[in-house]
């Protein structure tokens, strides 16, 4: 039986999809079978992060509404032994989907794959409720800005209400000089604001933005400090 991770953020622009793509890629590099679902209905982006946008025929909405089978919507990334992406629908849900639809899909995927990663829409609306159904653990991606931290804390409370007990925080886009100079909240303050454990810190690096624009997960390049950092973050989450 596999495990379902929800990747969520309180606001847009935190790097949630970037983390979902590279977290999934890190797990796949270790020999695990991984499926990454884009649940940001109406704002499809995950396929771009893998450079698979031209391979999309069916999407997660088609699966949830019975238009196609699960396998028909899974796009294999040939750079990995077993990593699959399921794109989001370019149209928003019209209200026909329920959390039960998502729960059933997650249960079916867990029976076949080691890890299911759900890239949830930002915020705490109905899209979060749908995405969280069937989730085992959640990872909140935020950044060292007070507005982002406040939204992340609000999101964390909603996840707790939805019954997700195991939650982690990943702090992205960190500029150490700004923290040390007092122009951004320091780690001690951030860990006071956020209740879940801090799984890791990702420094701001232009190479991350370049990799996403190229459709290449940055962890594919071994030996870089970024790849090693993702390995450590993954270990902390899996071994918690």
pTM > 0.85: yes
CA-CA distance, 30 to 83, in Å (whole number)?
11
CA-CA distance, 132 to 103, in Å (whole number)?
9
| Counted domains in the chain | 1
**Strands in 96-196 per DSSP E:** 115-119, 137-142, 166-174
Contact 125, 10 (CB under 8 A): no
Task: Examine the pLDDT at 230 and tell me if it is beyond 90.
Answer: yes
Predicted pLDDT of residue 90: 80
pLDDT tens, residue by residue, 22-35: 999 999 999 999 99
- Per-residue pLDDT, averaged over 6-12, amounts to 95
Q: How far is CA 2 from the centre of its chain?
A: 16
pLDDT tens, residue by residue, 61-80: 999 999 999 999 999 999 99
Domain containing 102 — which CATH number? 3.40.50.300
**Strands in the chain per DSSP E:** 3-8, 34-38, 75-76, 83-86, 115-119, 137-142, 166-174, 198-203
Predicted pLDDT of residue 94: 62
Contact 87, 38 (CB under 8 A): yes
Q: Tell me the residue range of the domain where 27 lies.
A: 3-238
SS3 (DSSP) at 210: helix
CA-CA distance, 212 to 62, in Å (whole number)?
26
Find the range with the poorest average confidence among 83-87, 123-127, 143-147: 123-127
């Amino acid at each position: 039986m596999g495990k379902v991770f929800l990747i969520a953020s309180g606001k847009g622009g935190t790097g949630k999809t970037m983390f979902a793509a590279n977290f999934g890629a890190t797990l796949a590099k270790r020999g695990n079978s991984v499926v990454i679902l884009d649940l940001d209905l109406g704002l499809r982006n995950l396929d771009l992060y893998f450079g698979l946008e031209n391979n999309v025929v069916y999407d997660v909405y088609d699966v949830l509404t019975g238009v196609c089978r699960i396998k028909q919507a899974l796009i294999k990334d040939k750079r990995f032994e077993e990593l699959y992406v399921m794109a989001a629908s370019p149209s928003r849900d019209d209200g026909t989907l329920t959390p039960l639809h998502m729960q059933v899909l997650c249960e079916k995927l867990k029976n076949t794959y080691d890890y299911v990663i759900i890239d949830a829409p930002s915020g705490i609306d109905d899209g979060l409720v749908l995405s969280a159904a069937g989730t085992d653990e959640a990872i909140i991606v935020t950044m060292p800005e007070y507005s982002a931290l406040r939204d992340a804390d609000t999101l964390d409370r909603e996840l707790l209400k939805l019954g997700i007990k195991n939650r982690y925080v990943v702090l992205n886009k960190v500029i150490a000089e700004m923290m040390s100079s007092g122009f951004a909240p320091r780690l001690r303050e951030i860990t006071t604001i956020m209740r879940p454990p801090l799984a890791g810190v990702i420094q701001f690096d232009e190479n991350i933005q370049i990799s996403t624009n190229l459709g290449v997960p940055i962890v594919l390049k071994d030996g870089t400090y970024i790849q090693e950092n993702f390995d450590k973050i993954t270990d902390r989450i899996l071994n918690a």
